[in-house]
Amino acid sequence: MKPTNFAQLLTRFLSRYLPGQRNVSVHTIQSYRDTFALLLRFCRDRKSWHPDQVTLQHLDRRCLEEFLDWLEHDRHCGVATRNQRLAAVHAFFRYVQYEAPEQLAPSQEILGIPFKRTAHPTVGYLTPDALQALLAQPDRSTAEGRRDAALLTLLYDTGARVQELIDLMVRNVRIEAPAVVTLTGKGRKTRQVPLMTPTVRLVADYLTERRLLQPERLDHPVFYNSQRHKLTRAGVTYVLDKYVQQARSRTPVDFPPRVTPHVLRHTKAMHLVQADVNLIYIRDLLGHSHITTTEVYARADAERKRQALAQATRVTSVEESHSDWTESPDLMKWLRQICAPAP
């Protein structure tokens, strides 16, 4: 059977264009692949179109809007997930515009599908006391506890994304002065992050104990499981959740309702903001492309301070005005009255 125009373009998009021309990460390609797998499932279940029959002509704006509604209502995906899937669809049809110019008009209609607005979630992070309580939980008398202590400490100290930590190889860790780790983040961008002295000692002891400093093990993952495979996201989340639960049960310190590996990244950023570290440095440490992404931590810290001041200030010296403009037939007179200087 001859492949459809959609099958041909999607294959080239995922296997050639994204890795070859855009140089995007494997994880991004997998995310895009999953989007189109869901789209084909939608076409099969809702439209009765077999995957090998779907063409670009089938995938018009109306069809894709129905697909997005299906994600939200049938699969119960949140707005953020819907927007993520739409971003993959947009990326594909931007590619289609150049590869199939006859599809220019339908592609532009699809590119006009807007993203849904979503409320920005509150930045969750640990207080210094909560962080200290968490890092004290691993039992350092055991090999597993020493590994977990090094993992959690390095995750916090570097502000790494969980995938960056998972992908970390021994050659990416320099324990000699100046001690740094080289992280590879989104878009395969690398950055060097300095390590604090306590972290250096902890990581150096861990690498020495596991015999990972031998030349033949430079390309071995720093953190791995019993099968000597690098840890997964689920594995790191499991380790973190185990010690969060221990800390909650053993200490009176308050923790956020949900503590994920990314919360440790937020924690590092917030602690740097609270220490008055320049946002440019924080941006570079976290690997943000734009300073506007980093500014969310400064705004969160400002909001925290505002709430603290509001809670501490019980009495105000400013008398509240009970004047109501609806009580005055003359709006301009009311404005002059309420804005007049105090006698």
Residues catalogued as catalytic: 161, 186, 262, 265, 288, 297
**Which strand ranges, in their side-by-side order, compose the sheet holding 180-184?**
173-174, 180-184, 190-194
Q: What's 211's DSSP letter?
A: T
Q: How many helices (H) and strands (E) does the chain have?
A: 14, 3
CA separation, residue 87 to residues 42, 74, 116, 342 (Å)? 17, 20, 11, 55
For residue 220, how many other CB atoms are within 10 A of its CB? 17
Amino acid at 83: N
CA separation, residue 140 to residues 116, 171, 202, 205 (Å)? 47, 25, 10, 11
Instruction: Please tell me the number of Cα atoms within 13 Å of 306 on its side-chain side.
Output: 6
SS3 214: coil
C-alpha 85/C-alpha 27 separation (Å) is 14
From the list 136, 154, 167, the residue with the least C-alpha distance to 268 is 154
